[in-house]
Amino acid sequence: MVACAIALGANLGNPQQTLEAAFQALNRPPDLHLVAQSHLYQTAPVGPPQPDYINACALVETTLPPPDLLKTLLQIEQQFGRVRRVRWGPRSLDLDLLFYGQQVIDTPTLQVPHPRLGDRAFVLVPLAEIAPDWMDPTTGHTVQTLSQAIDQTGVRRLDIAPP
């Protein structure tokens, strides 16, 4: 089993309900096991004008190789009605593979660690909640250190505890 970190985000429909259901969906495939999930966080959008996002992070364990895990994440997005129209546009569900163990992957279809991880408080804050000591293999810094080094303005934790 390989430990992986996944970012979740949504801002269409009922995002809180969507993320709660998405956590459950991450635990359904037989080769994917949800280990931990963060609180939900409300954040301002990046990109074109749109509603605020609800974001979270999950830790999973899997036996899937990275391309198959990505395929599974894209299938889960589609189950929640994800349609890709505009870059950084509104979405029913977004699942990003942040870390796959300590591997560095750079292919035309997959980059791990996620290339914009270090710039995104809406990812680092919830990830630091559940994996503060995870070492980013490209920077050598822990998630906690990366989170503390970024402006966290506009990232508000909701009073909804993970199960």
- Looking up residue 47, the CATH number of its domain turns out to be 3.30.70.560
Q: Give the pLDDT score at 161.
A: 56
Known catalytic membership, residue 91: yes
In this structure, is residue 162 part of a structural domain? no
Name the pTM for this structure.
0.92
Q: Which of 68, 85, 91, 119 is catalytic?
A: 91
Q: Which of 52, 96, 116, 119 is catalytic?
A: 96
pLDDT tens for the chain, residues 1 to 163? 999 999 999 999 999 999 999 999 999 999 999 999 999 999 988 777 889 999 999 999 999 999 999 999 999 998 888 665 655 567 889 999 999 999 999 999 999 999 888 888 999 999 999 999 999 999 999 999 999 998 888 888 887 655 5
- Split into its structural domains, the chain has a count of 1
Q: Which of 52, 84, 94, 133 is catalytic?
A: 94
Q: Which of 28, 52, 82, 116 is catalytic?
A: 82
DSSP-assigned letters across all residues of 63-95: -S-HHHHHHHHHHHHHHTT----STT---S-EE
In this structure, is residue 163 part of a structural domain? no
**Structural domain containing residue 48:** 2-157
Known catalytic membership, residue 82: yes
